[in-house]
Structure 1
Amino acid sequence: MNPHAIPSGSPLAALRSMRSNTDLILNLISREVIGRYRGSFMGLLWSFFNPVLMLAVYTFVFSVVFKTRWAGASGSRAEFALVLFAGLMCFNFFSECVNRAPGLILSNANFVKKVIFPLEVLPIVALGSAAFHFCVSMSVWMIFYVVFLGIPHVTALLAPIVLIPLVLFTLGCVWMLSALGVYLRDVSQFIGVAVSVLMFLSPIFYPLSALPAEYQGIIALSPLTFIIEQIRNSLIWGIGIDWRLWAMWTIATGLVAALGFASFQKSRRGFADVI
């Protein structure tokens, strides 16, 4: 491999890299997940207890302290908790990846000088690690739903399809921010604030319909709004996917992923000089 050659930034190159480095990606994801809990008394069990504790805390704060009620819900605390947690799962997946992105290459500087190492897989590894925690949270959500509300709607099977735009958008952001973070160290500070703002500008703690009409359009511009609304429709309300909007968001987020990969590939030649 010629170190001075310009790496291909086409989407096909990204797919080829994922396919040819599948074993490497899976090994790195496994190492990262296990390494996060290595040395702790409960180990991987923390990945199960963390979402349970988070679910309990948010339920207490919003349904007991603030006495928040969800439009269209039965009013039970269990249902409120599940509605809230469905949105939080999507946001936590996004925030875990994006908050790590600016320091992703810097924290793996030992790989940068290895000419044969495919740096473009590092954002995919970060995404895979977050996906593992999302799956654990989803398992917790399913258990609570079955215990308190019974068998989920059949539309819950559509959840993986609903999440495709979220995965594409997150991956594009991580590719872009991980490259930018090498050159601009202040990016991590800005992203921390931006993600916090995005949390409140997305319908996580409130339904979109609860807002005045003039604000609904603004909140709908949040890249997470469509995903959160649709995941609740499929998991809780038994409503199918809005395929027209889903197709539009999938195309748009696919472009974000393609642009993110292209910017990463174009920037990577200078990583070794900066780090």
Structure 2
Amino acid sequence: MPNILDTTPPVTAGATPLPASVDEMFAPEHITIIEARKGLQFFDWKELVAYRDLFRFLIWRQIKVRYAQSAIGIGWAVIQPLFSMVLFTIIFGRLANIDSDGAPYALFSLAALLPWTYFSNAITDGVSSLVSEANMLRKIYFPRLLLPLSAVVAKLVDFGIAAVMMVLLMSYYQHLPGPEILVTPLLIALMVVTASGISIWLTTLAVQYRDVKHAMTFLVQLGMYASPVVYPTSMIPEQYRLYYALNPMVGVIEGFRSAILGSQPIPWDLLAVGTVSATAVLLTGLVFFRSKEKIFADVA
């Protein structure tokens, strides 16, 4: 005999049982739990791949914002290295008579300004990437590493536009590159790795210490004179050459000059030291970034 106090409806064979409560009725089928990672980690490849569409969107937004409502547009990618080249040619090439390894000083300086302009702009935008997106950091979860990396990758568009100006100047001087030009993709890769590593380090510091952002103008100017932009590495004493190459941009700049001008052999020793240095900066930067990632939303 059924219990008259039991209000549970009978379950027919083969039927789906009804939920016991409202919470169970609206409970999600899949639950994603986001928690802090433990141990030494550089980055999560699977997570970056999963957010690749967001990465492409961030790159496109960086490019669009730079040229939005701009009268000159992409001309800014040409004006900065062009004006610097003219100024350096007059001051260092004509007045100071700096050695240019036998090449016209205009070509000599522009071959260096091509990677340096990319590098300086990439780290400047990369440093401010987390602070400028503070509202996004507080509202949604996504791999924070995408912000500085998208700033670095987006600047390759400006680099490509400035490279066209380099081709036009080489045509004006009737200078054809040799087979050394095939090394250019390796130089670009090292340039991007260097910019990424330094951007990751500095943007992590900039979240907590806003002095980093204010000091960027000084740091970029100091870095330019610490790199062979206006002078050749032949002016550096031989015993300090490899120590000087610990700055990865030394090998990149001299490599571009050798690949484009062909006046000197490819500096493989400088590139080897610079590659080790750039890789170390990138890996340690990733570890530092991951160790501080959990506090970005709170202090940004």
Q: If the length of structure 1 is used for normalisation, what is the TM-score?
A: 0.85
Larger Rg: 2
Aligned to 2:223: 198
* Pair 1:44 & 2:44 matched: no
* Pair 1:117 & 2:142 matched: yes
* Pair 1:249 & 2:274 matched: yes
CA distance in 2: counterparts of 1:242 and 1:67, whole angstroms: 26
SS in 1 for 2:202: helix
Identity over aligned pairs, percent: 25
Aligned to 1:27: 57
CA distance in 2: counterparts of 1:170 and 1:33, whole angstroms: 17
Q: Contact 2:77–2:161 at 8 Å: present in 1 too?
A: yes
Superposition pairs of residues 217-228 of structure 1, within 5 angstroms: 219-228=244-253
* Pair 1:183 & 2:205 matched: no
Q: Contact 1:93–1:134 at 8 Å: present in 2 too?
A: yes
CA-CA distance at 1:25 after TM superposition: 2.1
CA distance in 2: counterparts of 1:31 and 1:22, whole angstroms: 14
Q: Which amino acid aligns with 2:179?
A: V
Aligned to 1:142: 167
* Pair 1:70 & 2:67 matched: no
SS in 1 for 2:155: helix
* Pair 1:2 & 2:27 matched: no
Structure 2 unaligned regions, length at least 5:
1-31
Aligned to 2:299: 274
Q: Contact 2:118–2:159 at 8 Å: present in 1 too?
A: yes
Q: If the length of structure 2 is used for normalisation, what is the TM-score?
A: 0.78
* Pair 1:83 & 2:108 matched: yes
Looking at secondary structure, tell me which structure has more helix per residue: 1
Q: What is the total number of aligned residue pairs between the two structures?
A: 269
CA distance in 2: counterparts of 1:135 and 1:8, whole angstroms: 39
Summarize the Cα distance change of 1:198–1:46 in structure 2 as closer, same or farther, 3 Å threshold. closer
Q: Which amino acid aligns with 1:70?
A: D
Summarize the Cα distance change of 1:54–1:246 in structure 2 as closer, same or farther, 3 Å threshold. closer
Q: What is the root-mean-square deviation in Å for CA atoms of aligned residues?
A: 2.6
Q: Which amino acid aligns with 2:99?
A: W
